[in-house]
Chain A
Amino acid sequence: MGKEKEGQELIVSRQILSIPQHFSTGPVMGRFLAELRDNKRIMANRCPKCGRHQLPPREVCAICHVEATGWDELPPVGTIRDFDVIYYASPDPLTGETRQVPYVLCWVDLDGTQGDAPFWHLLDVDDLSKVRRGVRVRLVFADDRHGTTDDIRHFEIIPDEPVEGGIAR
């Protein structure tokens, strides 16, 4: 633990605290996560008033403030709306291990959403120059699924698919 510096031993304590968390999904996120886990389906809920999809789903439409009761399955393909390239090596909260950098997080508009669903996840890509707005991506499910957002392993770029010009469609 300690190390010598000019004859004096200096004490350094290194620890990783691991704090258990319990996230209660509630009925709406529960259905979304259960469908991911059991059926590998992406379910968005729909506002009965304005018809927009919410993804991830939430109980109330953020715009109309009415209960969003309808459900629709969305295809596991979409378009990159925005992205971040992360160079800061933060710890993975589940393991405490430092993440490998750089990695890419992207906001994907799944086909069928209206461009206002902030659906972010990892993008698995070997060449950062390929990451651009409008790039078409598909979703890769994890083999072991436990009802968390990690049941989606990541997005990956669909090869040879034309890049969409605009951000919104």
Chain B
Amino acid sequence: MNEEKDCAFVVEGKMALPYQYFAGAVGSQFIVSLRDDKRILGVRCEKCRKTFVPPRQTCERCFASLADQWVEVGPAGEVTGFTVIRYAEPYQPKEPPYVLALIKLDGADTPLAHILECGDVHKARIGMRVRAVFSEEPKDTILGIAHFEEERP
């Protein structure tokens, strides 16, 4: 059996996953506003008194169409939760370690997940006031906001 065990080796392979993501009418408006106007938009359901960021086509509670109920929110807000990313894999937006935070923007009722730059990952805190930093280059993704940083008093 020793001879057979010598035969074992590792085959390097790949798995390719092509995909297309369609942002849709509402998602596209959100991304284009980030890119062209550096404005963060949400949609508001007046009946339920709730503002959704990122925006959604219909209210999750009353199912009313919110496609044209745009309101501007932020660009500052509050951290409602966070995690520290410590492993590396391709397609991550940046090198670990970094903080991925849930940020409830001023005027919004739902949190937005994004990168939080606060120097040291140990400085991230729930309740922290943060502000959006927009990308220098135009981006057709949520990375139209480059990251959030701690708001200076």
In the complex, residue of chain B having the shortest beta-carbon distance to the beta carbon of A9: B32
Contacts of A94 in B (CB 8 A): 13-14, 16
State whether the Cβ of B93 lies closer than 8 Å to any Cβ in chain A.
Answer: no
Q: Are A91 and B16 in contact (CB under 8 A)?
A: yes
Known: A27-B7, A31-B7. A10 touches B25 (CB 8 A): yes
Query: How far, in angstroms, from A26 to B7 measured CA to CA in the complex?
Result: 8
Chain B 7-44, CB-CB to A under 8 Å as 1, else 0, gives 11111111111111111110111011000000000000
Min distance, Cβ A73 to any Cβ of chain B, angstroms: 15
Contact of A11 among B12, B16, B32 (CB under 8 A): B32
Known: A22-B10, A28-B4, A96-B18. A8 touches B25 (CB 8 A): yes
User: Which of A13-21, A79-87, A110-118, A119-127 lies at the interface?
Assistant: A13-21
Q: Are B8 and A30 in contact (CB under 8 A)?
A: yes
Q: Are B23 and A13 in contact (CB under 8 A)?
A: yes
Q: Are A19 and B28 in contact (CB under 8 A)?
A: no
Q: State how many residues of chain B have any CB contact under 8 Å with chain A.
A: 31
State whether the Cβ of B141 lies closer than 8 Å to any Cβ in chain A.
Answer: yes
Query: How far, in angstroms, from A17 to B29 measured CA to CA in the complex?
Result: 26
Q: Are A11 and B10 in contact (CB under 8 A)?
A: no
State whether the Cβ of B91 lies closer than 8 Å to any Cβ in chain A.
Answer: yes
In the complex, residue of chain A having the shortest beta-carbon distance to the beta carbon of B1: A27
Min distance, Cβ A21 to any Cβ of chain B, angstroms: 4
State whether the Cβ of B153 lies closer than 8 Å to any Cβ in chain A.
Answer: no
State whether the Cβ of A44 lies closer than 8 Å to any Cβ in chain B.
Answer: no
Considering only residues 109-150 of chain A, those with a C-beta below 8 Å from chain B are 146-148
State whether the Cβ of A39 lies closer than 8 Å to any Cβ in chain B.
Answer: no
Contact of B7 among A9, A30, A92 (CB under 8 A): A30
Known: A2-B140, A12-B23. A19 touches B15 (CB 8 A): yes
Chain A 34-78, CB-CB to B under 8 Å as 1, else 0, gives 100000000000000000000000000000000000000000000
Chain A contacts to B: CB under 8 angstroms: 1-2, 8-28, 30-31, 33-34, 91-96, 146-148
Task: Give me 15 A-to-B residue pairs in the complex whose CB atoms sit less than 8 angstroms apart, sorted by A's number.
Answer: A2-B28, A15-B18, A18-B16, A18-B17, A20-B12, A22-B11, A23-B13, A25-B10, A26-B8, A27-B1, A30-B4, A33-B9, A94-B13, A94-B16, A147-B9
